[in-house]
């Protein structure tokens, strides 16, 4: 019986830890730039396609393609809308 209790306790703990990390990657309440606004900023900066964009580590983060046909990684500040990272995706 103790083995089963430990098993279920362990599974519950793993599930709780997994759900906690999912909450960490949500847009913050003080973010003034929406995902759609970030995409518009990126398109204005030369991105022809935004293939991925998500909230991560306090900013909008993702990947896209520019007119040169190359893939880029980007970060957009969620409060100012400034592009803070714009690098070739290796």
What digits encode the pLDDT tens for the residues 5-42?
A: 564 554 444 444 444 444 458 898 999 999 999 999 99
> Contacts for 80-86 with beta carbons within 8 Å, 24 or more apart?
80/33, 81/33, 81/37, 81/38, 81/41, 83/41, 83/42, 83/45, 84/59, 86/45
The structure's pTM equals 0.72
Query: pLDDT tens digit string along 36-78?
Result: 999 999 999 999 999 999 999 999 999 999 999 999 999 999 9
Measured distance CA(65)–CA(27) in Å, rounded: 23
Domain residue limits, the chain: 27-88
Q: The domain 27-88 is classified under which CATH number: 3.10.450.40, 3.30.70.260, 1.10.3720.10, 3.40.1390.10?
A: 3.10.450.40
Residues 6+ apart with CB under 8 A from 35: 27, 53, 60
Encode 28-43: b = buried (16+ Cβ within 10 Å), e = exposed.
eeebebebeebbebbe
Is the CB of residue 74 less than 8 Å from the CB of residue 64? yes
């Amino acid at each position: 019986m103790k083995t089963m209790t430990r098993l279920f306790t362990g599974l519950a703990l793993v599930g709780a830890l997994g759900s906690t990390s999912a909450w960490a990657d949500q847009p913050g309440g003080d973010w003034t730039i929406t995902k759609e606004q970030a995409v518009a900023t990126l398109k204005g900066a030369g991105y022809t396609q935004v293939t991925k964009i998500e909230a991560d580590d306090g900013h909008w983060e993702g990947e896209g393609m520019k007119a040169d046909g190359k893939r880029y990684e980007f970060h957009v500040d969620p409060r100012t809308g400034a592009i803070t990272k714009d690098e070739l995706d290796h």
